A and B are shown apart, each in its own frame.
Chain A
Amino acid sequence: MMSLPDVNALHARGRWPPPEGPRVAIVGSRRPSPYGEAVAEQLATDLARAGVMVVSGLALGIDAAAHRGALNGGGITVAVMGTGVDVVYPASNSRLAEEILAGGGALVSQFPDGTIPRRQNFPARNWTMAAISDVVVVVEAGEGSGALITAEAALHLHKEVMAVPGSVFSPLSVGTHGLLRDGAGLVQNARDILAVVGRGGEVLDDPLVPPERLGFALRPERDGIVAHLSDVLALSAADIARKLQLPVSEVLGRLTALELDGAVRRQEAGYVRALRRGKERA
Chain B
Amino acid sequence: MLASVDSCVLVGLEARRVEVQANDGRGDVAFILVGMATTAVKEARERVRSAIRSSQLQFPGKRLTVNLAPADLRKEGSGLDLPIAVATVLAVMHKAPPPRSAFLGELALDGSICHVNGVLVAASWLRKQGYERLFVPAVDAAEAALVEGLEVIPCTNLASVIAHLTRIQSIEPQPLTHPVLDTGVEAAEHDLNEVHGQEEARRALEVAAAGGHHLLLSGPPGAGKTMLARCLPGILPPLELSEALEVAQVRSLLGDLSATKPLDWSRPFRAPHHGVSMAGLIGGGAGVAQPGEISRAHQGVLFLDELAEFQANVLQALRQPLEIGRVAITRSGGSVTYPARFTLVAATNPCPCGWSGDGRRACRCIPAMVDAYQRRLSGPLLDRIDLKVGVRRVPLEALASEPKGESSAPVRERVLAARRRQLDRQGCLNAQLKPSRLRQMAALDAASRQTLERWAEQRGLTARGFHRAWRVARTSADLDASEHIGERHVLEALGYRLNDVAA
Contact = CB atoms under 8 A, between A and B. Distances in A.
B331 interface: no
A268 interface: yes
Given A255-B495, A260-B451, A248 B200 contact: yes
Contact of B362 (A143, A238, A257): A143
Interface in B438-465: 451, 454-455, 458
B124 interface: no
A95 to B, nearest CB: 12
Contact of A260 (B371, B392, B458): B458
Contact of A252 (B197, B203, B357, B502): B203
Nearest to A60: B367
B198 interface: yes
Contacts of B495: 237, 252-253, 255-256
Contacts of A257: 451, 491
Contact of A241 (B199, B364, B454): B199
Contacts of B367: 30, 59-60, 90
Given A253-B492, A268-B218, A236 B364 contact: no
B403 interface: yes
A119 interface: yes
B476 interface: yes
A177 B351 CA distance: 26
Contact of B455 (A248, A250, A260, A269): A260
A254 interface: yes
A169 B218 CA distance: 23
B390 A269 contact: yes
Contacts of B364: 144
B366 A242 contact: no
Interface residues of B, number: 38
B492 A234 contact: no
A278 B454 CA distance: 14
A236 to B, nearest CB: 6
A281 B503 CA distance: 9
Interface string A204-247: 00000000000000000000000000000110111001100000
A14 B498 CA distance: 39
Listed residue (A174, A249, A253) with the most chain B CB atoms within 10 angstroms of its CB: A249
A166 to B, nearest CB: 13
A169 B454 CA distance: 35
Listed residue (B350, B392, B458, B495) with the most chain A CB atoms within 10 angstroms of its CB: B495
A171 interface: yes
B375 interface: no
Contacts of A90: 367, 371
B368 interface: yes
Contacts of A119: 366, 368
B494 A238 contact: no
Nearest to B358: A269
B377 to A, nearest CB: 13
Nearest to A241: B199
A17 interface: no
B488 interface: yes
Counting contact residues on chain A (CB < 8 A from B), the size range is: 35 or more
B362 A252 contact: no
A268 B350 contact: yes
A236 B368 contact: no
A236 B491 contact: no
Contacts of B390: 236, 268-270
Listed residue (A250, A252, A281) with the most chain B CB atoms within 10 angstroms of its CB: A252
B321 to A, nearest CB: 29
Interface in B346-395: 350, 356-362, 364, 366-368, 371, 390, 392
B203 A249 contact: yes
Given A171-B359, A249-B476, A281 B502 contact: yes
Contacts of A249: 203, 476, 479, 492
Interface string A191-213: 00000000000000000000000
Listed residue (B203, B218, B492, B498) with the most chain A CB atoms within 10 angstroms of its CB: B492
A117 interface: yes
Interface string B483-494: 000001101101
Contacts of A266: 498
Given A241-B199, A269-B392, A254 B368 contact: no
A142 interface: yes
A269 B358 CA distance: 6
A267 B358 CA distance: 10
Contacts of A267: 357
Given A260-B454, A260-B455, A269 B492 contact: no
Contacts of B488: 250, 253
B488 to A, nearest CB: 5
A168 to B, nearest CB: 13
Interface of B: 197-200, 202-203, 218, 350, 356-362, 364, 366-368, 371, 390, 392, 403, 451, 454-455, 458, 476, 479, 488-489, 491-492, 494-496, 498, 502
8 contacts: A31-B356, A90-B367, A117-B368, A171-B360, A253-B495, A256-B455, A260-B451, A268-B356
Given A248-B200, A253-B494, A268-B350, 16 more contacts: A30-B367, A59-B367, A90-B367, A169-B359, A171-B361, A237-B495, A250-B488, A250-B492, A252-B492, A256-B455, A260-B451, A260-B494, A266-B498, A268-B356, A269-B390, A281-B502
Give the top 5 A-B pairs by smallest Cβ distance, nearest first: A268-B357, A253-B491, A252-B495, A238-B199, A269-B357
